[in-house]
Amino acid sequence: MIIGVLNGPNLNLLGTREPAIYGSTTLSDIEARLAEVARSLGAEVRCAQANGEGQLIDRLHAWREEVAGVVVNAGAYTHTSLALRDAFSATALPFVEVHLSNIHAREPERHRSLLAPVAIGMVTGLGAYGYEVALQGLVRWIRHRAPGASAP
C-alpha cells in the first residue's frame, strides 16, 4: 500500500519557521520518520510539498491511480481553498488532515477547515508526531474497508 504525504505552503521552512509554534523538526525529518513508520505498517509513503495551490491539486490528480490515501497538511490552504477540497472530492482519495499546531487554539481565521468535511479524520496540535498518528490511522482505515475486512 502506498500513501501520499502532501504538504502545502511554507512547510518547506519547518525547523526554522516560527519554531515556538511549529517546532524545530524539519520536513525532511518528518518524511524520514514517516518512511520508517510506513515500513512498520507494511506500507510506503510518497512525499510532496508545494507552495502553490495548483501544484498541490496537480499532485493529487497524479496520485489518484498511485496511492491508496493521503496524509495532508495543506497549511493556510486548509482555511481558504475550495479548489483543494474539490480536488480531494474529485479524486475520491481518502485522507487525514494534519496540523502541527492546534488550529482551534490559534487566530479565529484558522479555526475553520474547508477540508475537514471531506476528510476521514483530523489530527491537530501534536507537532510532528501528529503525522505518525495520521498515517497509522489512515492505513488502519483503508485496511478495514478492503473487501472482506472486519470492522476496526
DSSP letter string, 108-142: GGGS--SSGGGSSEEEESSTTHHHHHHHHHHHHHH
What is the tens place of the pLDDT at every residue in 91-143? 999 999 999 988 776 766 767 788 999 999 999 999 999 999 999 999 999 99
* Dist CA 3 CA 94 (whole Å): 10
Binned at pLDDT 50, 70 and 90, residue 18 comes out as confident
Sign of CA dihedral 72, 76, 81, 83: negative
Active site members: 22, 99
What is the tens place of the pLDDT at every residue in 53-90? 999 999 999 999 999 999 999 998 998 899 999 999 99
Q: Is the pTM of this model over 0.85?
A: yes
Query: Which is nearest to 73 in space by CA: 132, 139, 143?
Result: 132
